[in-house]
Chain A
Amino acid sequence: MKMNRLSYSKTTLFFTLLWLFASGISPGQQTTLNYSKYHQPDEINASLVRLAKQYGQVARMHDLALSPGKRKLVILEIGNEVNSVDKKWPAVFVAGNMEGIVPISSEAAVYLADLILSDKSHYDGLTWYIMPCGNPDAAMHYFKRPLVKDARNDLQHNDDLDELTDEDGWNDLNGDGWITRMRVKDPEGIWVPVESDTRLMRKADYSKGEKGIYKLYDEGIDDDRDGKFYEDGPGGVNVGINFPHLFKAFTPTGGLWPGSVDESYKLMKFISDHPEIAMTFTLGSTNFCLVPPKGGRKGSVDLNKIKIPERFAEMFDADPDKSYSMSEIIEMVKPIVPEGFEVTESVVAGFLGLGAVVNPMKEDLVFYKDFSEKYKKYLKEKGAEIDRLDPEPAKNGSFELWSYYHLGLPTFTMDFWTLPKVKEKKEKKNGLTSDQLKKMSDEEFLALEKDKIEAYLKGVGAPKQFQVDMVINMVKGGRMTPAKIAEMADKMKDDKKPEAGKPDPKMKALVTFSDSVINGKGYVNWSSYNHPTLGEVEIGGPVPFTDNTPPATMIDSLLSLQVPWIFEIVKKLPDLKILKTELKLQGAGVYELKVWVENKSFIPIPTAIGKRNQRPPPVLIILSGRDFELLSGKNRTTISDLPGLKNKKFTWLIKSEKGNVINIELKAVNARGDMKQIKIGGGK
């Protein structure tokens, strides 16, 4: 067998090994779990129960749901308000291991709980809800043999719509404890071994006259004699994709409808019943801390180019053939609504039927990008500049997409590990990179040699119609910026699937990691097996979980490096303050009251998506007190939004006797507020 081993850069290997053998930087106190092994869902739950007991005054357990496999989903609440139903402080919800196939994310949830409880400042004026595992049935697979990576819960489901249910799952034919792959020579095969490493398979390149040799199957036999392997394994629904945003009906593992299983339904209920939740963290396989949420989905309406349907156009005296911006339409609508009716972006989007938002709002990407840069810097400072494969993009129907698009909350996610990147053999010197482009001005870009730009476009696999001259002209014409080109190029790179003729880079990374770091335990070399129906086959391939689960010895150091970043983001929760008040006598006991309120944090309240979907609870200024009359303005004033680090002014006309006290409360259910008193006529 030809095995031309791939290798890492020296730095990558050094850090990988450092993590692997590091003794671990523990949270700095007695920890709940021994972070040198992975723990089963019930062990994880038990550790939280122990914490809740140990910190009874500030920690409390909630039983959320029971999975079809009769496993508990629990939430640990931490904070100074654990015994009150109506919370005064904002809360952060942390969801771990929603798909059940990322064991380190459940460890991270407990690690976080440990960290929070080790320092009172972490829960000073803040509630935490930590759910360590959203899909405990699937999470158990990691602890069973044979080892199989399957995100479905234990709900029975007839995947192949035959007369039996869950009758044809995996089979560990070679008895090695892992479910890997089978390859069998077949005239209809489309796979060939990779020349440089014959363990890896790639698709035959028919365009070059190459013919396939192998067919690939999952390791198993045809238990129900229907000609298919592993087509109806045990289990039903991947809880991690059973949420409403971009949920797709009629998929094999998504469930019948969003929230069709108790795990997701009860979680949505819990979060809806806790309006104090101001932010969510999902610990799993995506990383919005590092890579801001991706856009580029079709179907989202551009709020600067809205067409008004004919039946409304007449009403607003608008041209149905013309496009308008949202603010233009708001101005058109204002004169025709009853007095006092607030025309918001959400109202307009609703009646024009603009549909659901499917891409992150550009205003929100501002804070995502800022945090991403800061996080990269933080990792660099910690000496953890490991070059690893990108985190996965968020899946349709995922918890994190629901949190951002439907709850309208600042939504962050963290993965903790992916395979280290393999050193590229042909690193082009002096070649243009996306990072360089992102920092380049239009002028600097236009000063580049045309060949250099052309090589860059080719390198990122830009489509043919994306000609170099066209790109240059677009930049010249102000329709495109170098940063935008880099963003599009990166997206094209991400979307690229393994092509015919080339091995999957993820597989390359996996065998390299297996060979260099874990003594070959991550990949099973092909060995022959006499299959009952396929005849002579070979069994081999990646060991399940090698691609997303680092060796247990790495857990502690990985978590101690990354988990504390959560506190840095939480510090940026909206922080509302009454900046200044001003009271001016207009005459005859009538005063003009001006109040400036500010958001001292960088994260706006609500997010731009929250402003659009109107889901987050409102921010209010509430005036109270005795013996005053409002001549203009309301005693409960809703603030539609308060952008990060900005302030807004509000004005009332008040009639009052001198000496009366008016309380001014700045309040939001999910943000820290402020309170001031003013005395009419001055004084204290």
Chain B
Amino acid sequence: MKKLLKNIAILTVVLLLSVNGYSQSDDIKVPLRFDHYYTYDQVVQALKVLHKAYPDLTKLEVVGKSEENREIYALTINNPKTGEELSKPGVYVDGNIHGNEIQASEVCLYFLNTLLTKYGNNEKITKLVDKNAYYVIPVVNVDGRCHFFTDANTSSSNRGLRRPKDDDRDGLFDEDFPDDLDGDGNICRMRKKDPFGKYKTDPEDPRLMIRVKPGEKGEWTRLGQEGIDNDGDGRVNEDSEGYVDPNRNWGFNWAPQYVQGGAGDYPLSGVGLKGIADFIMQKPNIIIGYAFHNSGGMFLRGPSTKSQGKFHPKDIEVMDYLGKNNEKIVPGYRYLISWKDLYSTYGDFGDFLDNIIGAYTFVGELFMSSTETYRDPEQKTEEEDDMFRGSSNERNREKLKYNDHVAMGELYKEWKEYDHPTYGKIEIGGWVKMSSRLPHPFMLQDLVHRNASAVIFSAEQTPEVEMEVFEVKKIDKNLSRVRIRLVNDKAMPSISYHSVQKKAYPKDILKLSGQGIKIISGGQLTDNYRDKVNYKEYKPEVQFCQVPGFGKVEYQFLVSGKGNLVIEYESMKAGKIKKQVKL
């Protein structure tokens, strides 16, 4: 009976959402629509229909299962006609690592939808699909997304993994969640009339409360999030899901819980995250990564802690180039450094991808609530800071008007009386779940398009290495001088400078061979006018190199013998090239 009631409640919530236009119940078809939010099941369905529509270009895999046994899907796009996926630069995109940050998955779906539906119709996209391999995991925190839709939440709750944790150290696990007392599918706020309270009704908008000044009479006491004291310990809502933060649980620079809240018991203790890490470790070709979150309107780059030191200056150049372009593509978003401009985090996914995989990683913090405006055209637009501002009385009044006149009142719940078992007569009201950090569906199309465009810009900048044999000169009867140039027209080098510096991975290999041919000496040509070469002492036929972004690197070899000289270039992230020259 209890289960039946729960199912009815879930159904009601889903129906309510679909009525509001936040979710759709129709069959999902290609091209995908972006005028609503997809539930977890709908995301899976969307991936399946994309795969079904483009079976030759896509591979759909379950890369892991969550704590509650839900499947985590990755859709890979690769055109096998232009090469195997591992022989191409890899572009990784994920979203919704925090359960409440749902629009991140819509960006991933939009990105996939764009690449696939425009392939063959749009020259730029066709070239991009042919060039790179794309690994997209639209929902990292699958349990989180599911519970965000089905359960009552605030816009910020339900972030973590469903790994029970005894937050209040009373020996019980996750026993005091917030409670949807009025059954509307939202966790709003509670307030109580109290002449000794610290708040009074805002004279300009009675839905808001403002702090009383010294000497003024109070009217309200704020009682926090909607809920009761489920475990009778005198505290309300103090031990909800987890908390293990899936973006503090990665293996690189992980720190224990007492240093980094949400760290989890040990690195990658999240079973779904471990599955994703194992998947990523099989894709050493990944060179650029985007992890989408909400909110604030930012493209963050690492490092996530100061103690890691600065990135290599040449890598900073690459990140700056991409990040500053992203600022232009997505108006209002700022390109920032994670620890310096925001705060320090340990066990961060971005650091994992940068250091363990050797990628260039951005965290996209989607949506600026400052775009929720109701403003006089003459009113000067303030420099909004979404993360740290946006809660002033004036701003709250504007947001409410935006709710009333633009969002049709769907974002705010009017205060209503409720008889609370502990507090007695109280009122429940405030911003609803699908507000504050999420754009109203009418804004969604713009958000997903611009952010997917930022990824597309980066995908264009993955290394494209070309090989030129720009000189074959006979020096003696049996001795030739061969000069080879590796050119890269794109922003990203063939391997990050950080990876080279930390000796994380082998550099690219330039190898010369041939029947009856011997490589007498060889090395990097540093000045071709003065014939200056850093000759490699041992095994000159194998050179280890890095091709810089927007640049070139040149090598010179002294080769004895005649016949076909085979020149092979192989990079973990920039593909392979093979050429022959006749000596």
Tell whether A and B belong to one assembly.
yes
Q: Is the CB of B506 within 8 A of A158?
A: yes
> Complex Cα distance A220/B307, Å?
40
From B248-256, B329-337, B460-468, B471-479, give the one contacting chain A.
B248-256
Closest to B232 in A: A635
> Complex Cα distance A636/B267, Å?
31
Q: Is the CB of B506 within 8 A of A161?
A: yes
Task: Give 3 closest A-B pairs by Cβ, nearest first.
Answer: A257-B251, A268-B266, A272-B265
A514 close to B (CB within 8 Å): no
Q: Is the CB of B503 within 8 A of A250?
A: yes
Chain A residues at the B interface, C-beta cutoff of 8 Å: 158, 161-163, 224-227, 244, 249-250, 256-260, 265, 268-269, 272, 340, 346, 349-350, 353, 355-356, 405-406, 612-615, 617-618, 620, 622, 634-636, 638, 667, 669
In the assembled complex, how far is the CB of residue A269 from the closest CB belonging to chain B, in whole angstroms? 7
Give the interface SS of chain A, mostly helix, strand, loop or mixed: loop
- Choose one: A269, A340, A613; the contact of B257 (CB below 8 Å): A613
In the assembled complex, how far is the CB of residue A670 from the closest CB belonging to chain B, in whole angstroms? 12
Q: Is the CB of A272 within 8 A of B266?
A: yes
Q: A225-B538, A618-B169 are in contact. Are A258 and B258 (CB under 8 A)?
A: no
18 contacts between A and B (CB under 8 A): A163-B506, A163-B509, A163-B542, A226-B539, A259-B267, A260-B251, A269-B266, A272-B265, A346-B258, A349-B258, A355-B259, A356-B256, A356-B258, A405-B256, A612-B258, A620-B170, A634-B232, A636-B171
> Complex Cα distance A355/B258, Å?
8
Q: Is the CB of A258 within 8 A of B251?
A: yes
Give the interface SS of chain B, mostly helix, strand, loop or mixed: loop
B550 close to A (CB within 8 Å): no
**Contact residues of B between 538 and 553, Cβ < 8 Å to A:** 538-539, 542, 544
Q: Is the CB of A244 within 8 A of B254?
A: yes
In the assembled complex, how far is the CB of residue A358 from the closest CB belonging to chain B, in whole angstroms? 11
B324 close to A (CB within 8 Å): no
Q: Is the CB of B171 within 8 A of A620?
A: yes
Closest to B501 in A: A250
Q: Is the CB of A257 within 8 A of B267?
A: yes
Q: Is the CB of B269 within 8 A of A272?
A: yes
> Complex Cα distance A349/B257, Å?
11
B172 close to A (CB within 8 Å): yes
B3 close to A (CB within 8 Å): no
* A259 neighbours in B (Cβ, 8 Å): 251, 266-268
* B233 neighbours in A (Cβ, 8 Å): 634-636
**Contact residues of B between 246 and 296, Cβ < 8 Å to A:** 250-259, 261, 265-269, 274
B356 close to A (CB within 8 Å): yes
> Complex Cα distance A163/B506, Å?
8
B511 close to A (CB within 8 Å): yes
* B234 neighbours in A (Cβ, 8 Å): 340, 634
In the assembled complex, how far is the CB of residue A647 from the closest CB belonging to chain B, in whole angstroms? 21
In the assembled complex, how far is the CB of residue A612 from the closest CB belonging to chain B, in whole angstroms? 6
- Choose one: B169, B511, B539; the contact of A614 (CB below 8 Å): B169
In the assembled complex, how far is the CB of residue B76 from the closest CB belonging to chain A, in whole angstroms? 23
In the assembled complex, how far is the CB of residue A443 from the closest CB belonging to chain B, in whole angstroms? 42
Q: Is the CB of B356 within 8 A of A256?
A: yes
Q: Is the CB of B251 within 8 A of A256?
A: yes
> Complex Cα distance A636/B502, Å?
51
**Contact residues of B between 209 and 257, Cβ < 8 Å to A:** 231-235, 250-257
* A258 neighbours in B (Cβ, 8 Å): 251, 254, 266-267
* B537 neighbours in A (Cβ, 8 Å): 227
In the assembled complex, how far is the CB of residue A276 from the closest CB belonging to chain B, in whole angstroms? 13
B437 close to A (CB within 8 Å): no
Among A163, A268, A635, which residue has the most Cβ atoms of chain B within 10 A?
A163
> Complex Cα distance A158/B169, Å?
45
Q: Is the CB of B169 within 8 A of A638?
A: yes
In the assembled complex, how far is the CB of residue B193 from the closest CB belonging to chain A, in whole angstroms? 20
* B556 neighbours in A (Cβ, 8 Å): none
> Complex Cα distance A259/B352, Å?
14
> Complex Cα distance A260/B544, Å?
27
B36 close to A (CB within 8 Å): no
* B504 neighbours in A (Cβ, 8 Å): 250
In the assembled complex, how far is the CB of residue A221 from the closest CB belonging to chain B, in whole angstroms? 14
Q: A163-B542, A250-B504, A272-B269 are in contact. Are A257 and B169 (CB under 8 A)?
A: no
Q: Is the CB of A250 within 8 A of B502?
A: yes
* A224 neighbours in B (Cβ, 8 Å): 539
> Complex Cα distance A384/B125, Å?
77
Closest to B163 in A: A272
Q: Is the CB of B172 within 8 A of A636?
A: yes
A355-B259, A613-B256 are known; give 11 further A-B pairs, CB within 8 A.
A162-B506, A226-B539, A249-B252, A250-B504, A256-B251, A346-B258, A350-B258, A356-B255, A617-B166, A617-B171, A618-B170
> Complex Cα distance A249/B267, Å?
14
Q: Is the CB of A162 within 8 A of B544?
A: yes
* B542 neighbours in A (Cβ, 8 Å): 162-163
> Complex Cα distance A258/B251, Å?
6
Closest to A640 in B: B169
* A406 neighbours in B (Cβ, 8 Å): 256, 266
* B497 neighbours in A (Cβ, 8 Å): none
> Complex Cα distance A405/B166, Å?
20
* B355 neighbours in A (Cβ, 8 Å): 249
* B356 neighbours in A (Cβ, 8 Å): 256-257
Q: Is the CB of B170 within 8 A of A265?
A: no
Closest to A636 in B: B170
- Choose one: A226, A265, A617, A634; the contact of B268 (CB below 8 Å): A265
Closest to A228 in B: B538
